[in-house]
């Protein structure tokens, strides 16, 4: 064997011994590590295992709670969706009612506008009728004055006719005796004059209308105020200044009006006007 071979053998033996020592150390260390682990970490592992078991139980309980919550949530969601559907239906119904109410309101407004238009037309028609009525009343007053004139003539003719028809000797004698007696005493035998001499009641009125001849007039007082045909009243004007115009005699009377005629002529021939005053109590200054 050569020297190199001897050296190699020695080296190999040295490596073998080194490997054996390392293997022994490793085996010894390995055995101690397992024991150490078993002694030191087993309680911790057991504790972690217990915790894991508890966590698993809690997880299962949490899953159960989650499932229950999901069921409750689903039930609540279903109830909410049902309530939403009911509310939607109510809103739809309310919208329909609002639409109907709006339609009814528009119809009512249109009817109101139509009614206002009709009322305005009626008011205008009423104004026209009132104007026509005033014109007719004025014309009727004028006709009444003319009718009074005609009635006066008719009464005069009837009176003459009656006098002729009933002009018996006895009546002629009586009338003659009475007339003679009245004239002998300085009195008039005209019955109208006799009535006119009676004191009229205390009255005051206005001239409502006057005829074209400025003779006959319609007064605003009548039989309700105590007037009778034959009463004589004083005629005045107050504007622009107070002045006496003359006297008038009542010809015919109605409850609220009368027709009078100027006795003789007015003062200075003045024209009588509507609104002039007639009175039995206001007398002209001497």
For the chain, how many structural domains are there in total? 2
Which of 126, 145, 163 is the last residue in one of the domains? 126
pLDDT in tens, 250-278: 999 999 999 999 999 999 999 999 999 99
Q: Which residues contact 246 (CB under 8 A, 6 or more apart)?
A: 235, 262, 263, 264, 265, 266, 267
Asked whether the beta carbons of 221 and 176 are under 8 A apart, the reply is no
The CATH code of the domain that includes 226 is 2.40.10.340
For 189-231, strand residue ranges (E) read: 204-210, 216-219
Asked if the structure places residue 139 within a domain, the reply is: no
CA dist 188 and 197 (Å) reads 10
CA dist 65 and 57 (Å) reads 12
Asked if the structure places residue 165 within a domain, the reply is: no
Question: Is the model more confident about 41 or about 105?
Answer: 105
Q: What is the mean pLDDT of the chain?
A: 82
Q: Are residues 12 and 114 in the same domain?
A: yes
- pLDDT, residue 243, reads 93
Q: Are residues 122 and 205 in the same domain?
A: no
CA dist 14 and 22 (Å) reads 12
- pLDDT, residue 187, reads 47
Which of 66, 93, 126 is the last residue in one of the domains? 126
CA dist 251 and 232 (Å) reads 10
Asked if the structure places residue 84 within a domain, the reply is: yes
Which of 107, 126, 145 is the last residue in one of the domains? 126
> What's the mean pLDDT in 168-196?
62
pLDDT in tens, 189-244: 555 445 545 678 999 999 999 999 999 999 999 999 999 999 999 999 988 888 99
- pLDDT, residue 199, reads 79
Asked if the structure places residue 68 within a domain, the reply is: yes
* 247 pLDDT higher than 80: yes
CA dist 169 and 21 (Å) reads 203
CB atoms within 10 A of CB 206: 15
For the chain, strand residue ranges (E) read: 204-210, 216-219, 232-237, 243-253, 258-262, 277-279
Question: Is the model more confident about 8 or about 182?
Answer: 8
* 133 pLDDT higher than 90: no
Task: Tell me the residue range of the domain where 70 lies.
Answer: 1-126
Instruction: Report the share of the chain in percent with pLDDT over 90.
Output: 26
Asked if the structure places residue 143 within a domain, the reply is: no
* 186 pLDDT higher than 60: no
CA dist 115 and 131 (Å) reads 24
Question: Is the model more confident about 75 or about 285?
Answer: 75
- pLDDT, residue 277, reads 96
Give the closest residue to 234 by CA, choosing from 268, 208, 269, 199. Answer: 199
Cα 257 versus chain centre, distance: 42
Q: If phi over 0 gives left and psi between -120 and 50 gives alpha, with beta otherwise, what is residue 246?
A: left
* 67 pLDDT higher than 50: yes
């Amino acid at each position: 064997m050569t020297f190199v071979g001897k050296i190699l053998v020695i080296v190999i033996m040295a490596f073998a011994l080194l490997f054996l020592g390392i293997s022994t150390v490793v085996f010894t260390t390995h055995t101690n590590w397992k024991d150490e682990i078993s002694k030191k970490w087993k309680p911790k592992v057991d504790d972690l295992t217990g915790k894991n078991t508890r966590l698993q139980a809690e997880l299962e309980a949490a899953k159960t709670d989650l499932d229950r919550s999901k069921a409750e949530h689903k039930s609540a969601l279903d109830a909410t969706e049902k309530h939403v559907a009911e509310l939607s239906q109510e809103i739809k119904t309310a919208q329909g009612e609002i639409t109907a109410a709006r339609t009814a309101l528009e119809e009512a407004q249109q009817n109101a506008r139509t009614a206002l238009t009709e009322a305005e037309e009626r008011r205008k028609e009423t104004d026209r009728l009132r104007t026509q009525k005033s014109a007719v009343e004025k014309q009727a007053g004028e006709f009444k004055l003319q009718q009074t004139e005609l009635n006066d003539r008719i009464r005069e003719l009837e009176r003459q006719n009656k006098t002729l028809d009933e002009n018996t000797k006895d009546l002629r004698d009586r009338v003659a005796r009475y007339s003679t007696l009245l004239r002998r005493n300085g009195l008039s035998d005209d019955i109208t004059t006799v009535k006119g001499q009676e004191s009229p009641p205390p009255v005051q009125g206005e001239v409502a209308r006057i005829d074209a001849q400025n003779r006959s007039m319609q007064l605003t007082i009548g039989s309700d105020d105590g007037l009778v045909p034959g009463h004589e009243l004083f005629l005045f004007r107050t504007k622009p200044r107070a002045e006496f115009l003359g006297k008038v005699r009542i010809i015919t009377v109605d409850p609220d009006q009368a027709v009078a005629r100027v006795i003789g002529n007015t003062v200075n021939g003045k024209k009588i006007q509507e609104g002039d005053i007639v009175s039995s109590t206001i007398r002209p200054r001497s």
